[in-house]
Chains A and B, each alone.
Chain A
């Protein structure tokens, strides 16, 4: 082995460890340089994702609206030509109907919230299983700022944690770092809704004497100032009073299917309360 190669491996290992710790410490200090790097990487890679997502959506529409029917028509071409045309129209109609229903629900939510909102489309999800966030196609240029709440027609999705010029990163309520003051609608018992990763949350710090039952709805209490009061987080799916300690073990399943988000609303003004539901 050449003498200059003798120290190569330890040197590379040392450099790699040094690089990791330097970047991690800068990351923990919320270094603006790293935020710039992060923003640039997202700005470079997200447009392709956005285009592919849009292309995929169109492809799916085309598949459902045409190719799928070509396959069916080939089977029954001679007997069912007129029926196929009708089906094609029907599927297009159903697609339009579904889009209309989604957008109507979003519009109803916009009216219900009665706050300035921005409509956004989810274009990507977190590539890591260790955090739960989504990327939306609205950013600083459209007025999105950090800490703004994000909603779907079914309930609360999460909050904006990073805003880039054209995109924003939304921390979902199931993320382990997500925490919010919440209350049980029926008994008005309050607790902290804590993300647990995967697709679940827990309602922490609820005493064993408090009245919480499976099926109870969990709402934002409006106290943390991020989520408007009265909006739905989810439903209690487990309430265990036999667990050790002074608090109950309560599992909450989000009202929104956070794995299948399409359109969301970003409320432009945080720290405002809705009327009591």
Chain B
């Protein structure tokens, strides 16, 4: 799993750097949340959780919101993805994108309510809400691409012998 963690970690870092160079601070596409969501749909829960922790800490380190807030939001995205894990057929990109949209909306609601609870921020103005909504929609549109990226990397790792734990064949079958 360590190799897979590093591979997906590097992919996430590349996305983070790309966003920082090209989009921030004008546009905040939730590409890391997107990556975590599609990773959460894959069999390896341990990998998705480990990456959620790492990416949460990374985002918390670059923000000035209370430390742990983004960690909570990344764990939430993986949690929502796991809810859909068995229910979404692999090739139904539209359904996956809709589920992803739901995960990101929940993430935003979680962040906003947490910030209000912690006394960090008041409500959002309409302009900001609109801005957030457009960014989330744009991110969800990119979902199928991210799905292909995650599957592609999984296939690439599979060539070198990595398989999610739940997909590994069970060789010990005494009653078979």
Q: What is the interface of chain A, defined by CB distance below 8 A to chain B?
A: 9, 12-13, 16, 19-28, 34, 37-38, 41-42, 45, 48-49, 52-53, 56, 124-135, 161-162, 169, 171, 175-177, 196-198, 258-259
Contacts and interface: CB of A to CB of B under 8 A. Distances in A.
B63 A26 contact: no
B65 A128 contact: yes
A23 B70 contact: no
Interface string B26-37: 101000100000
A129 B65 CA distance: 10
Interface residues of B, number: 47
A175 B68 contact: no
B131 A198 contact: yes
A45 B13 contact: yes
Given A128-B59, A198-B131, A26 B72 contact: no
Given A16-B79, A126-B62, A24 B131 contact: no
Nearest to A124: B20
A127 B16 contact: yes
B132 interface: yes
State the main secondary structure of chain B at its contact with A: helix
Given A27-B60, A48-B17, 7 more contacts: A22-B68, A27-B69, A45-B16, A45-B58, A126-B64, A127-B24, A128-B65
Interface of B: 13, 16-17, 19-21, 24-26, 28, 32, 45, 49, 53, 57-72, 75, 79, 82, 111-112, 115, 118, 120-122, 124-125, 127-128, 131-132, 135
A115 B122 CA distance: 36
B26 to A, nearest CB: 6
Contacts of A37: 57, 61
The 8 nearest A-B residue pairs measured at CB: A27-B67, A24-B68, A23-B68, A41-B61, A125-B24, A125-B25, A20-B72, A128-B63
A52 B15 CA distance: 13
Given A124-B24, A127-B20, A38 B75 contact: no
Given A56-B21, A124-B20, A198 B57 contact: no
A19 B61 contact: no
Nearest to B46: A12
A28 B66 contact: yes
